[in-house]
Amino acid sequence: MSKTEFEGILYLSISLVVRQIADRDKLSEIDATRSFYNSGVYEALSNEKTKLWHFSPLTLYNMYRSEQETGVIDFPEEL
């Protein structure tokens, strides 16, 4: 995958996960964005080698939520 393709997928994934966070956690878009960008899930998602970009926004949200509650990222499958 080219850098441009990955950046496009990353941008779309981030915006959809942030929307999930804002809606489900009752946060403003700014607070949801800030919270996601400070998470380990975002850090892993932004690294193409982890292949997290192939997960749905809901799965990524659930990973984020789990990390917020436990402090540990729960990967749904072996990567």
Domain ranges of the chain: 3-70
Structure tokens at 20: 């999930």
Structure tokens at 10: 């990353």
Compute the average pLDDT of residues 39-62: 94
Does 78 score more than 60 pLDDT?
no
pLDDT tens-place string over residues 1-39: 788 988 999 999 999 999 999 999 999 999 999 999 999
**Residue partners of 26: CB distance under 8 A and separation at least 6:** none
For the chain, how are helix, strand and coil distributed in percent, rounded to 5? 75, 0, 25
